Structure 1
Amino acid sequence: MISRCAYVTSDPLYIKYHDTEWGVPVYDDRTFFEFLILEGAQAGLSFYTILKKRDHFRSAFDSFNPQKVAIYDEDRLAILMQDKGIIRNRLKLQSAINNAKAYLAIQATYGSFSSFIWGFVDGQPVINEWKTKEEVPVNTPLSDRMSKELKLKGFTFVGSTICYSFMQATGMIMDHTTDCFRYAELSAQHHKLAHDGR
């Protein structure tokens, strides 16, 4: 029997996300933007709730195209507020539009969002060695620093806990517990990348 992180439910959707995405390093800017929107929408909710709505979010937000989201107006916001397939919280929806603009500004300044955000961990995933889910933190000094920096750059809904979850999801931090089958797989991949000098 395969051993997984204790938080995973029996839902095939959640299992697939855990087994194929969570903790895998992301370098694609559009994927980073997707997780920025999803993590912001998650605030106060479980990620499982967001995961079930992910496809609908993708449709509602133009496949997470930041150039398109950045120019959403009041009419588009009103349409989103009527969309039962997403989280209809006006502050979160406005934040997604605002964050698209801040995100584009970072791309313009740093060449890519990926190069900017990976700078917080010096370009290498942080590999933790937690034995139980209770040991896994919800925020750290690193996520505090990222939160502060993103807020200074105009982002909203980027508190320290959201930033930590964002780093876990995008593989900047690898928090699969050591008893999880993905821990050994991803650790080996990370060490190979470090050795090859990505």
Structure 2
Amino acid sequence: MVARALADVDVSSGRVHSLHADELRTTGPDGLRATLDRYAGDALLLEGLDSLILDGPHGPAYATALYRARVEGVSDTALLATCDGDRISELSAAAPELVTDFRAVRLPDLTDPRLRTALLGLLAEERQLRLSADAWDVTARDLPTLHGRGRLTNARLIETYLDRACTRNLGRAAETQAIGSTGGLLLTGADFDGLAAELSPR
């Protein structure tokens, strides 16, 4: 959604990539510039900015490198980042210039089934997917009980739920052949059935 919005105002190509803080640590602060350059023209989602800055000895160096990359205009990569809502004050104190340079948006806690359903519909529309009536029946049953684990929470959990249904659908040869004639996938209840149990911790 963010990538599409950025593309609409010619800020990026519309493609979005993601990296977790742990992946950035493998190259160190000095490798940050090269990492950003790999995604020039696209949007890069850095997951766990708070962990990168606050949970390691090189946090200040990462903060400086990120800040310089943004304010000095040395990167054509649109940078997005996530931060645990409970740590935003701590992050602001540790790297005030960096945090000020970002526009902070607090995302809703997607525990409300109505919000989850709305997000599922929006993601399906973006992907040119259609859900049959029985598919909506299954999702209405699943979404209130869907629980993630680790990084698989909130919007990422709903997105993964939808992506798994697409993967199931594409696994059927007949459905795959129908894509060209229908202009998109039609997901059925069978594509979603059992996914909540697969994705939720046991």
Same fold? TM cut 0.5: no
TM-score normalised to the size of structure 1? Answer: 0.30
Q: Radius of gyration: which is bigger?
A: 2
Relative to total residues, which structure has the larger strand share, 1 or 2? 2
1 or 2 for the larger relative contact order (CA 8 Å, sep ≥6)?
A: 1
- With normalisation by structure 2, the TM-score equals 0.30
